Amino acid sequence: MLNRRDFLRGCAVSVGALAAAPENALERILAAGRDTAGLSPEQVAADEDFWFEVQQAFTVDRNIVNLNNGTVQNYLRIVQDAVRRHSEFTGNAAWHSMAVLNNEIESCRRRLASHLGCDPEELVICRGGSEAGQIPIMGLELKRGDEVVSTNQDYPRLLGSWRQREKREGIVLKIVPLPAPPVPLDLFYRLVEQAVTPRTKVILICHMTHWTGQMAPIRRISDMAHSKGIEVIVDGAHGFMHVPFKLADFGCDYYTASLHKWLMAPPGNGFVRIPKDRISKVWPLTPPWTDNPNDIRRFEDVGTRTPANRVAIAEAITFNEGIGIERKSARIRYLRDRWANRLRTLPKVRFYSSLEPAESCGVTTFGIEGMDMAKLTSHLLDKWGIVVSPMKHPDGLIDGIRIVVNVSLSAREIDYFADVMENIIKKGALV
């Protein structure tokens, strides 16, 4: 087994090779992309030379192995530099400079919309995935007795937003009790469909849950809902720039995203897509200074805020385009499978995430029978320098650790984690 000292020494040698010229990282990625243009995404996924170039774009501490990329992704050097540059620019002439950068946000809106396959005038750029979800949740016109259907594995903050409306306005939140994951997609669909009644007005589902990366049968649910006059909100915090898709694939009404996750934009960025014919019908989360009811920007007037971290979204988009979403997704799945296939057959190991490509990608949760997962989380960090996230569902459905890989990670780092876990599992103790 590779010990931590040898592992870190090996990483230091690799990182030192390009540390002297980090500013060339994006150019090297683009060049590597051209060199592998004839290869399939799956072939490129296993090309460590290609991904070594990609890894140099991150300003990560290689003394630790960050496998908790589900909350905030590792930072890109070009994004950090852009935020710094734009912040300095706005300090030159304060509001005048901020107004200049505000115009550049429109370019980000257009580029994000092109990846989603929607009209830029349907896209709200807001302050994160939670706010993105709360804009339609708090803004849709509902009356007492109207029903909203969601599941017990959807995001707690968004469920809490519905519960506030339930308390204040008398709407009814119906929580579908999905079984312990992974949940077969046919069963997932049937349970949601069975919860729908003539009073149902909205369905909220996750593209991928934060608990286990469980995907939902979005298209089937959207088609069923629309046949009954029901609107569908998809929480895509873990979907956008994680796996390839267009909104037309899903047929949902509202799609939300957290851009500091898989896009790797600066923290405090997100978006929600609102169809043009719904813009005037959704109440803004914060009332705008002056309201143009048909302008998507009515949802973005939240008072004075710096444009620096929003304009820097462009750098994150450029980075992802340089790799290609198909290649990125294939690499993420390759790294996930590299460790998961080693652990999945070991005794007392339970996977709460499917490893099927149509049902999951880079978010994977597993538990170990008889072991305290919170203590394991601390042990992995304190002794081995590995960062993971404990996942314990309040209904007892999940008790494990969540591993979220990213293109910033090397195969060597993944193997190091698998070595450590194999030793712990086989010995049945925190060693």
Q: What is the mean pLDDT of residues 197-208?
A: 98
pLDDT in tens, 241-253: 999 999 999 999 9
The yes-or-no verdict on residue 260 having pLDDT over 80 is yes
DSSP 278-345: GGGGSPPSS--SS--TT-GGGGT--SS--SHHHHTHHHHHHHHHHH-HHHHHHHHHHHHHHHHHHHTT
pLDDT of residue 397: 97
pLDDT band at 1 (very low <50, low <70, confident <90, very high): low
Question: Which residues does 324 contact at the CB level (< 8 Å), separation at least 6?
Answer: 33, 41
Q: How many CA atoms lie within 13 A of 266 on its CB side?
A: 23
Among residues 406, 408, 431, 384, the alpha carbon closest in space to that of 8 is found at 384
The yes-or-no verdict on residue 196 having pLDDT over 50 is yes
Rounded CA-CA distance 105/113 in Å is: 12
The yes-or-no verdict on residue 13 having pLDDT over 50 is no
Rounded CA-CA distance 148/167 in Å is: 13
pLDDT of residue 92: 83
Q: What is the mean pLDDT of residues 293-302?
A: 96
163, burial (CB in 10 Å: exposed 0-12, middle 13-18, buried 19+) = middle
pLDDT of residue 18: 38
Find the range with the poorest average confidence among 15-19, 119-123, 335-339: 15-19
pLDDT band at 431 (very low <50, low <70, confident <90, very high): confident
Range 4-66+324-426 classified under CATH 3.90.1150.10: yes
pLDDT in tens, 163-193: 999 999 999 999 999 999 999 999 999 999 9
Q: What letter would DSSP give residue 125?
A: E
Find the range with the poorest average confidence among 24-28, 67-71, 210-214: 24-28
Residues of the chain with pLDDT > 90, as a percent, come to 86
User: Which residues lie across from 270 on neighbouring strands?
Assistant: 126, 258
pLDDT of residue 31: 73
Q: How many CA atoms lie within 13 A of 40 on its CB side?
A: 3
The yes-or-no verdict on residue 142 having pLDDT over 70 is yes
pLDDT in tens, 386-412: 999 999 999 999 999 999 999 999 999
pLDDT band at 5 (very low <50, low <70, confident <90, very high): low
Rounded CA-CA distance 166/145 in Å is: 9
pLDDT in tens, 368-381: 999 999 999 999 99
242, burial (CB in 10 Å: exposed 0-12, middle 13-18, buried 19+) = buried
pLDDT of residue 38: 86
Rounded CA-CA distance 258/262 in Å is: 8
- DSSP 3-state of 386: strand
Range 80-317 classified under CATH 2.40.420.20: no
More confident: 23 or 414: 414
Amino acid identity for residue 304 in this structure: T
Q: Enumerate the domain spans of the chain.
A: 4-66+324-426, 80-317
* Mean of the per-residue pLDDT values of the chain: 93
Residue bearing tokens 């709407």: 171
pLDDT in tens, 274-288: 999 999 999 999 999
Q: Is the peptide bond before 182 cis (omega within 30 degrees of 0)?
A: yes
Rounded CA-CA distance 149/175 in Å is: 6
pLDDT of residue 30: 67
Residues in the chain: 431
pLDDT of residue 165: 98
pLDDT band at 12 (very low <50, low <70, confident <90, very high): very low
Amino acid identity for residue 9 in this structure: R
pTM: 0.92
